[in-house]
Structure 1
């Protein structure tokens, strides 16, 4: 991980007002780069970073930020886009959707690993289907059980299109799990996040992914469902916008 982001904009001017405002909304000194890619020509840069300034901000704010920079080398102008995220795979998907090659942006060394195959498959599903999910809400809980979640609308789903992707650190381990739950609407999803009155409801279909289905079945047989207690962060979720790299986000810095 890099100590600080370098936007490589010396000698460049913003191409429009939106780009000027977007650049001013982030300070490079607040960002710890987790992964980045710069095209050989210098025309584009993609950065995935942890925003350390969120430690002092509103609780539950997204702590990841994805940045895309396009440069007109002849005119010496640039366009700047950025988006906050709570779950790493969604930040990566946002960058991939905007032209970043998958390999460099998925090589993220966080010091914590996926706990099982289902977590790996769920992350891959999010990254490999860029544009599939419309992010609706998100939240990060910096206290035990160190969880982050993203609520999204699955544009391909025929049934229960609102999905909750819940990421939780394994207690006492350097691992995390990512699970997908399916709901009829945002109200039902928010109700579950607040009360945790049942296990996270599984999606009615899993894209025909037989391996993922087998993993889910094995986990169901071998592990009793866990019902998590509500967090203070979830209570404010309706007001939150789009977390967590586990080392830098789900756990306090």
Structure 2
């Protein structure tokens, strides 16, 4: 992770006004790069997921993650520049995937990142990452501390029941883990009521019911098996071994899920 970004655009011109404006308003000095992917051999595309430190001093609740997509046409000496802010990494990764970025290189796993607390978290995140344009984002909110959480409210175009979905991410800093859960509501007002009152557990989607529960549990089992197989195939020793206690830096970008 680093804060240095150079998209190598000095000899290129923006292809349209939107790219020009995005580039002119872009400020790399406040970004901490969390993951990035650049195409080879000609470097025509760059994809970056970063934490925007400036947001932490701005309007409370604003999304702190920024996804950046740069497409270069080297023959025409032009570039397209796009950015998008998100409350959680999974939605930022979905946005990048829709622009051609493979998911594996921009995953936030291991090293200095806190880990998902359970397999359901992994499943929900993968569902978001691979959802394409399924979810229409209606609202987001990010809270660094008390509570330490972020949520994204969406309209699910594939849901025949309770189409308003709330994706809620919460961090346990002491354990060095986080959870992601999906809630289902009939309308936006019901979702806002739950967020304001927190009077009970997040209502699960109908897909999690006993009728479809076997499918959900089977997906979770496959995810757990894949994770276990990956860990067994890549034993970690020495400096690469997992920490038993989380490291604590001076400044922790929570939404980047740094320890």
In the superposition, the TM-score normalised over structure 1's length comes to 0.82
| C-alpha separation in 1, matches of 2:26 and 2:184 | 34
Give the alignment partner of residue 196 of structure 1, picking from 195, 198, 208: 198
| Residue aligning to 1:119 | 121
Deviates more, 1:63-72 or 1:123-132: 123-132
Q: Structure 1 residues 149 and 196, CA, compared in 2 at 3 Å: closer, same or farther?
A: same
Q: Alpha-carbon deviation of 1:145?
A: 2.5
Q: 1:82 matched to which residue of 2? A: 83
Greater Cα radius of gyration, structure 1 or 2:
2
The CA distance in 2 between the partners of 1:167 and 1:150, in whole Å, is: 9
Q: Deviations over 1:73-94 (max 9, x none)?
A: 0221111111100111110011
Q: Provide the C-alpha distance between the structure 2 equivalents of 1:89 and 1:110, rounded to a whole number of angstroms.
A: 18
> How high is the TM-score relative to the length of structure 2?
0.80
Gaps of 5+ in 2: 223-251
Paired residue secondary structure (1:205): helix
1:166 to 160, 165, 168: 168
CA distance in 1 between partners of 2:106 and 2:131 (Å): 15
- 1:140 is displaced (CA, Å) by 0.4
For structure 1, the 5+ residue unaligned runs are 216-246
Aligned to 1:248: 253
Q: How does 1:1-253 map to 2 (within 5 A)?
A: 1-40=1-40, 41-108=42-109, 109-170=111-172, 172-206=174-208, 208-211=215-218, 248-250=253-255
Which deviates the most, 52-61 or 127-136?
127-136
| 3-state SS of 1:209 partner | helix
Q: Aligned partners of 2:186 and 2:51: how far apart in 1?
A: 32
Count of residue correspondences: 222
Q: Aligned equivalents of 1:199 and 1:32: distance in 2?
A: 34
Whole-angstrom CA distance in 1 between matches of 2:8 and 2:218? 42
Equivalent residues of 1:86, 1:149 under 8 A apart: yes
Computed over aligned residues only, the root mean square deviation of the Cα atoms, in angstroms, reads 2.2
| Preserved contact between residue 119 and residue 177 of structure 1 (Cα < 8 Å) | yes
**2:193 aligned counterpart, secondary structure:** helix
Change (3 A) 1:110 1:211: farther
